[in-house]
Amino acid sequence: MRDVAVIGIGMTKWGELWTKSLRTIFVESALLALDDAGVDKIDSMVVGCMSSGLFVGQEHLTSLLSDYLGKNPVPAARVESACASGGLALRQGFIEVASGMSDVVLVGGVEKMTDVTGCEATFALGTAADQEYEGFHGLTFPGLYAMMAVAHMHKYGTTREQLALVAVKNHDNGSKNPLAQYPFKITVDGVLQSVLVADPLRILDCSPITDGAAAVVLCSADMAKKMKKPVIRITGSGLATDTIALSSRKDMTWIESTHLAGQKALAMAGRKIGDIDLFEVHDCFTIAEIMVTEALGIVEKGRGGRAVEEGLTSLKGKFPVNPSGGLKAKGHPVGATGVAQAVEVVKQLRGEAAERQVKGAKRGLTQNMGGTGGSSVVHVFEAE
Amino acid sequence: MPNPARAWREYPQRYRLEAEKCTKCGTIAFPPRLVCPQCGNRKFAKTKLAETGKLLTFTIIRVPPDPFEDQAPYAVGIAELEDGVKLTAQVVDCDFAALKVGLRVRLEFRKLSEEGEAGVIYYGYKFVPE
Ligand SMILES: [Zn+2]
C-alpha cells in the first residue's frame, strides 16, 4: 500500500439552500477542492450520498456529477452507507490511491434535503433503520437515539443536563465556523425548554435537516510532497458494521461498530487514542457524541456525560471533540457529513481553522456512522 | 408501501409470532433468518415467541412519521422476552408516567397503521403492561 495524502479541501456554506440544486452544491465544493489542490486532472471520483432518490428523485449521480463538473469520461462511483456514506466515500478513495489503481481521486459527499417536506425527509432518513421491524412500529431516528439515551441514563446515571451540554459545546464551536448552518450559541436552558421530539430528546438535541456538500482531493504522499501545500496524510482507515436493528445489539449503550472501526484505524496508523489532538465525530443527536467518545476510548464506558460536564471535550479541553460545531451546529446533509469531517480535520492540521483552531494540532480523527451504529467509519490524519 | 405482498409476506411473524430456533445453538431468530447470527448454522426449527417480557428502554414519539400522524404522541419500547429475544414495538394501554425500564409487558395483537381508504391496514403486535 502507498501512503495517501489530502491535497485539497472544499466546502461551501451549509443551510437551507433553496436557490441551489444538488448538482450545483456538489460542483461548487468539488471546484473549491480542486482549486485548493491546484490540480485539474483527476483519475477517478467517488461520491457519498445517502438518498438522492428519495430527497430529489435523482439517482445515477456518477453520470450527473462528473458531467456537471466537466470531467466526463472520468471513472466515477457512488457509495451509500446511510449517514456514513461520506466517510465510506473517503475510505474508497483512500483504497484507490493506496492500491496504486489511481493517482489523484476526488472524494465528494452531497445531500440535498430541503426539496421535500419534513415528513418526507423523516421517511427518507428512516430508511437507515430496519423498515419492517423498527419503522413499521412508528419509530423514527430521534426515537431510536432517545431509546439509547434512556438506556444510557438508566445504566450510567447520565443526566439530561449532560446531554444539553453537548449541544451547547458544539454550538459554541459552531459559532466560530462561518460555514455552519447555525453559527450561534445556545444555552442549557434553551435546550431544556426546546420542544420534545422523542423523550428525553428535544429539538435542540437533534442535528438539523441540511443542504450541503464537501469534497477533498487525495493523491499519493510522494506526489503530495512535490506540491506546495502542507502534506496531510491519511494514516489509518477503519470500517465496521453491526446489526441494523437496535434491538438486536448485545448492549444498546455501546456502539460496537465505532469501537471496532476506531481500533482498526488507530492500529493502521500505529497510534493510541491519547496521541490524537482533535476529533470530528458523528453527533447526530447529543447522546450519540457521548456514546461515541466512549466507544473510541476517549473516555471510559459510562463516562461520556461527565466528560462533557468537566470540559474534557471542549475546544480548549484535553480532547477537543467537534471543533467545527459538529453535525449539531454545522448541519447534517447526511451524505456530505463524513467528507466535511475530513475537511475540518485537514483545516485544523494545516493551522487554517482561525478562531476555532486547536493549537498545535498534529493528528486528528474522524468518526462517521450510519443509522444507530449499523456502520461506522474512522480515519486518522497526520500532519508531516 | 403500496404493495400488499410486502405486508402479507410478514404475516407469520407479525400475526402469529412465528420465530425460528437454531438447531445447533438454540438461538431464536425473529424475524426468521437463513443464517444463525450466533453460530452460522443454516438449519432452524419453527418455534413461537414468548409472549411476556420486560422493557429494556422506551421513548415517546412526539414527531411521528406520516402513517402514524394521527396517533402521536405514542410510546415505543424495546423489551426482552422470556426466551431472550429482544423486540421493538409500541407500548399501549399505559400512562406515559408509568413507563420505566424493567416494566413487565405482554404482547397483544393490535392494529398499527393504515394506508388510507383503499390501502392496506397493517396489524401486528404491541406491548401492553402486564
Ligand atoms: Zn446457532
- Nearby residues for ligand 1 (ion, Cβ within 5 Å): B 22, 24-25, 27, 36, 38-39, 41
Q: Stretch A108-119: mean pLDDT, rounded?
A: 95
Whole-number Å distance, alpha carbon A295 to ligand 1 midpoint, is 27
pLDDT of residue A189: 98
Q: Are residues A138 and B90, on separate chains, in Cβ contact within 8 Å?
A: yes
Question: Taking 60 as the threshold, does the pLDDT of residue A359 lie above it?
Answer: yes
Contact assessment for residue A264 and residue A239, using Cβ atoms and an 8 Å cutoff = yes
pLDDT of residue A229: 84
pLDDT band at A309 (very low <50, low <70, confident <90, very high): very high
How near does any CA of chain B get to the CA of A224, in Å?
Answer: 44
Same domain, A284 and A200: yes
Q: Are residues A137 and B124, on separate chains, in Cβ contact within 8 Å?
A: yes
> What is the rounded distance in angstroms from the CA atom of residue A370 to the CA atom of residue A87?
10
Q: Are residues A197 and B63, on separate chains, in Cβ contact within 8 Å?
A: yes
Same domain, A78 and A156: no
Q: Are residues A138 and B56, on separate chains, in Cβ contact within 8 Å?
A: no
> What is the rounded distance in angstroms from the CA atom of residue A88 to the CA atom of residue A71?
22
Count Cβ atoms below 10 Å from residue A311 Cβ, excluding itself: 13
pLDDT of residue B85: 97
Question: Taking 80 as the threshold, does the pLDDT of residue A46 lie above it?
Answer: yes
Residues 6+ apart with CB under 8 A from A186: A167, A168, A171, A204
Question: Taking 80 as the threshold, does the pLDDT of residue B105 lie above it?
Answer: yes
pLDDT band at A350 (very low <50, low <70, confident <90, very high): very high
Partner-chain residue, chosen from B62, B63, B66, that has the shortest CB–CB distance to A123: B66
Q: Could you give the percent of chain A with pLDDT greater than 90?
A: 98
Q: Stretch A274-290: mean pLDDT, rounded?
A: 98
pLDDT of residue B2: 60
B124: nearest CA in chain A? A137
Q: Stretch B94-112: mean pLDDT, rounded?
A: 97
Q: Are residues B65 and A150, on separate chains, in Cβ contact within 8 Å?
A: no
Q: Stretch A285-307: mean pLDDT, rounded?
A: 98
pLDDT of residue A50: 98
pLDDT of residue A293: 98
Same domain, A137 and A95: no
pLDDT of residue A241: 98
pLDDT band at B57 (very low <50, low <70, confident <90, very high): very high
| CATH number of the domain encompassing residue A179 | 3.40.47.10
pLDDT band at A358 (very low <50, low <70, confident <90, very high): very high
Partner-chain residue, chosen from B65, B101, B122, that has the shortest CB–CB distance to A126: B65
Residue at a domain's end among A226, A257, A272: A226
* Interface residue B92 vs chain A (CB under 8 A): no
- Write down the mean pLDDT value for chain B: 95
Contact assessment for residue A304 and residue A293, using Cβ atoms and an 8 Å cutoff = yes
Same domain, A181 and A215: no
DSSP at B29: E
Residues 6+ apart with CB under 8 A from A1: A98, A99
Residue A71's domain spans which residues? Answer: 4-116+210-226
Angle at CA A263, nearest 5°, toward A262 and A266?
A: 80
The owner of cell 393490535 is: B110
Report the catalytic residues of A: 83, 332
Question: Which region holds residue A270: left if phi is over 0, alpha if psi is between -120 and 50, else beta?
Answer: left
Question: Taking 60 as the threshold, does the pLDDT of residue A238 lie above it?
Answer: yes
pLDDT of residue A298: 98
The number of domains in chain A is 2
| Architecture field, domain B50-130 | Beta Barrel (2.40)
- How far does Cα A90 stand from its chain's mean position? 11
What residues in B contact A123, CB-CB < 8 Å? 65-66
List the 11-30 stretch of B: residues with Cβ below 8 A of A: none
Same domain, A100 and A215: yes
Angle at CA A334, nearest 5°, toward A331 and A336?
A: 80
* Interface residue A134 vs chain B (CB under 8 A): yes
> What is the rounded distance in angstroms from the CA atom of residue A327 to the CA atom of residue A330?
5
B70: nearest CA in chain A? A138
- Write down the mean pLDDT value for chain A: 97
A211-237 tens-digit pLDDT? 999 999 999 999 999 998 899 999 999
Same domain, A269 and A134: yes
Residue at a domain's end among A226, A256, A278: A226
DSSP at A81: B
pLDDT of residue B118: 80
Same domain, A89 and A48: yes
Whole-number Å distance, alpha carbon B33 to ligand 1 midpoint, is 11
Contact assessment for residue A150 and residue B59, using Cβ atoms and an 8 Å cutoff = yes
Quick check: pTM over 0.90? yes
Question: Taking 80 as the threshold, does the pLDDT of residue A166 lie above it?
Answer: yes
Q: Stretch A164-174: mean pLDDT, rounded?
A: 98
> What is the rounded distance in angstroms from the CA atom of residue B82 to the CA atom of residue A213?
47
Q: Could you give the percent of chain A with pLDDT greater than 70?
A: 100
- As for the ipTM of the complex, it is 0.97
How near does any CA of chain A get to the CA of B8, in Å?
Answer: 12
Contact assessment for residue A223 and residue A8, using Cβ atoms and an 8 Å cutoff = no
How near does any CA of chain A get to the CA of B97, in Å?
Answer: 12
What residues in B contact A132, CB-CB < 8 Å? 10, 31
Residue at a domain's end among A161, A191, A226: A226
What residues in A contact B61, CB-CB < 8 Å? 138-140, 143, 198
Strand partners, A65: none
Q: How far is CA B89 from CA A148, A241, A278, B35, B117, in A?
A: 15, 24, 39, 24, 25
Domain boundaries along the sequence of chain B: 1-49, 50-130
Same domain, A297 and A322: yes
Question: Taking 60 as the threshold, does the pLDDT of residue B1 lie above it?
Answer: no
Q: Stretch A200-209: mean pLDDT, rounded?
A: 98
What residues in B contact A198, CB-CB < 8 Å? 59-63
> What is the rounded distance in angstroms from the CA atom of residue A193 to the CA atom of residue A208?
17
Question: Taking 90 as the threshold, does the pLDDT of residue B66 lie above it?
Answer: no
Contact assessment for residue B87 and residue A99, using Cβ atoms and an 8 Å cutoff = no
Question: Which region holds residue A348: left if phi is over 0, alpha if psi is between -120 and 50, else beta?
Answer: alpha
Same domain, A28 and A108: yes
Q: Stretch A253-276: mean pLDDT, rounded?
A: 98
pLDDT of residue A384: 86
B55: nearest CA in chain A? A151
Same domain, A72 and A220: yes
pLDDT of residue B119: 84
- Cell reading at B32: 426468521
Same domain, A311 and A328: yes
What residues in B contact A199, CB-CB < 8 Å? 59-60, 62, 96
Same domain, A327 and A349: yes
Angle at CA A294, nearest 5°, toward A293 and A298?
A: 60
How near does any CA of chain A get to the CA of B129, in Å?
Answer: 17
